[in-house]
C-alpha cells in the first residue's frame, strides 16, 4: 500500500494548494490513501465542518489533528462519526477518537494520532500509552501502523522513533510547520521529524508576519492571521508499506503552481 501524507495544511492557501495539486500527485505517484493533518485548515486554527467537507470532496480520505483539533466547535460531532482523528492521548472523556482502521486495497492500515508534551495541552504520557497500544495492535495481528506524532520538541519525536522502530511502519512528525530533511527507513520503519506545512511560505509558519514580529518586539500577544495573498508551498511524504514494513519513502514539494517534484528520498540504514 502506498500512502500520501500531507502535514499542517494551513488555511485557505493550504486548501488551494491541496486542491490544485492532488490530481497531478495521484496521476504521477498513484497513492492508495490520502491522509492530511487538518488541525490548521480553517484560517489556521481548527477544522470547520464546511472545510472538512470541502477537503473530503477534494480527495482527503482521513484527517489527523493536534492541539487545535478543538478550535472549531462545530466539528465536534464529526469527530465521532467521520474519518477525523484527534490525538489518542487526550483524556478519554474528550470527544472523538485517536485511532482509525482503514481498508487499503484489501489490507488494514492502522492510523494513530499522538501528541507530545512540551508546550502542549495536558495529555496522557504519549510514550507509555503508545507502547501499550502498539503491543495490543500487534498481538491482534495489525502490522501496518502509521503514527502522526504532533509535537513541538524534536527530541520527543526522535525518542519515539528510537522506541518504536521495527514495531510500526511509519512515524511522521507534524506541528512545527518547518520541514526537516532527516527522512530515514530503519528496521522497516519510516521516520521524519517534521513534514512541514502546506500553505503560505513567505511569512512565519504560514501566518502573516506582522503579529509574530509584534510579539517578539513587544512581548505582547495577539491574534495570528493567515494572509489572503502569499507565496505558497505544498509539502508531503509518500511511503510504501509491505507486510508491515516500509519499503520506500520520499518527500514531495511544490511551489505555487509549479510541478510537484520529489525533493528527498529516505535514507536506508
Reported as a single tens digit per residue, the pLDDT across 171-182 is 999 999 999 999
Confidence of residue 97 (pLDDT cuts 50, 70, 90): very high
Angstrom distance (rounded) from CA 181 to CA 126:
24
Task: Reply yes or no on whether the pLDDT at 141 is more than 90.
Answer: yes
Which of 20, 21, 43, 68 does the annotation list as catalytic?
68
H or E segment at 214? helix 210-218
Reported as a single tens digit per residue, the pLDDT across 98-108 is 999 999 989 99
Is 68 in the active site? yes
Confidence of residue 122 (pLDDT cuts 50, 70, 90): confident
Task: Name the percent of the chain lying above pLDDT 90.
Answer: 91
Containing domain of residue 192, as a range? 2-268
Reported as a single tens digit per residue, the pLDDT across 16-40 is 999 999 999 999 999 999 999 999 9
Question: How far does the chain reach from its first CA to its final CA, in angstroms?
Answer: 21
* Number of domain units in the chain: 1
Angstrom distance (rounded) from CA 102 to CA 93:
24
Supply the pLDDT for residue 127.
97
What global pTM score does this model have? 0.96
Identify the weakest region by mean pLDDT among 141-155, 204-218, 252-266.
204-218
Q: Please name the residues in contact with 225: beta carbons below 8 A apart, sequence gap of 6 or more.
A: 43, 44, 207, 208, 210, 211
Supply the pLDDT for residue 222.
81
Reported as a single tens digit per residue, the pLDDT across 204-242 is 999 899 889 999 999 988 888 898 889 999 999 999 999
Mean per-residue pLDDT of the chain: 96
* CATH number of the domain to which 225 belongs: 3.60.21.10
3-state secondary structure labels for all residues of the chain: CEEEEECCECHHHHHHHHHHHHHHHHHHHCCCEEEEECCCCCCCCCCCHHHHHHHHHHCCCEEECCCCCCCCHHHCCHHHHCCECCCCCCCCCCCCCCEEEEEECCEEEEEEEEECCCCCCCCCCHHHHHHHHHHHHHHCCCCCEEEEEECCCHHHHHHHHHHHECCECEEEEECCCCCCCCCEEECCEEEECCCCCEEECCCECCECCHHHHHHHHHCCCCCCCCCCCCCEEEEEEEEEEECCEEEEEEEEEEECCCCCEEEEECEEC
- CB distance 106 to 78 below 8 Å: no
Kindly state the cell numbers that stand for 122.
495536558
- CB distance 257 to 228 below 8 Å: no
Task: Name the percent of the chain lying above pLDDT 70.
Answer: 100
Task: Find the mean pLDDT for residues 192-204.
Answer: 96
Torsion sign over Cα 156, 158, 164, 169: positive
Task: Work out the angle at residue 128's Cα, subtended by the Cα atoms of residues 71 and 123, and round it to the nearest 5 degrees.
Answer: 20
Amino acid at each position: 500500500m502506498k500512502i500520501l501524507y500531507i502535514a499542517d495544511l494551513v488555511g485557505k492557501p493550504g486548501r488551494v494548494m491541496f486542491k490544485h495539486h492532488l490530481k497531478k500527485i495521484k496521476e504521477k505517484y498513484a497513492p492508495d490513501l490520502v491522509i492530511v493533518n487538518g488541525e490548521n485548515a480553517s484560517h489556521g486554527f481548527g477544522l470547520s465542518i464546511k472545510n472538512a467537507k470541502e477537503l473530503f470532496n477534494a480527495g482527503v480520505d482521513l484527517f489527523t489533528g493536534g492541539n487545535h483539533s478543538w478550535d472549531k466547535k462545530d466539528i465536534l460531532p464529526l469527530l465521532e462519526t467521520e474519518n477525523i482523528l484527534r490525538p489518542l492521548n487526550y483524556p478519554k472523556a474528550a470527544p472523538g477518537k485517536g485511532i482509525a482502521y482503514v481498508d487499503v486495497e484489501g489490507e488494514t492500515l492502522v492510523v494513530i494520532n499522538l501528541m507530545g508534551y512540551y508546550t502542549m495541552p495536558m495529555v496522557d504520557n504519549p510514550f507509555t500509552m503508545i507502547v501499550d497500544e502498539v503491543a495490543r495492535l500487534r498481538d491482534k495481528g495489525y502490522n501496518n501502523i502509521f503514527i502522526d506524532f504532533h509535537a513541538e520538541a524534536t527530541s520527543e519525536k526522535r525518542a519515539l522513533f528510537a522506541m518504536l522502530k521495527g514495531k510500526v511502519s511509519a512515524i511522521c512528525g507534524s506541528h512545527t510547520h518547518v520541514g526537516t530533511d532527516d527522512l530515514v527507513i530503519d528496521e522497516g520503519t519510516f521516520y521524519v521529524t517534521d513534514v512541514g506545512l502546506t500553505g503560505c511560505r513567505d511569512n512565519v509558519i504560514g501566518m502573516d508576519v506582522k503579529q509574530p514580529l509584534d510579539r517578539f518586539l513587544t512581548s505582547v500577544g495577539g491574534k495570528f492571521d493567515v494572509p489572503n495573498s502569499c507565496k505558497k508551498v505544498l509539502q508531503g511524504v509518500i511511503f510504501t508499506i509491505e507486510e508491515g514494513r516500509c519499503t520506500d519513502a520520499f518527500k514531495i514539494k511544490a511551489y505555487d503552481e509549479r510541478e510537484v517534484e520529489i525533493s528527498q528520498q529516505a535514507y536506508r540504514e
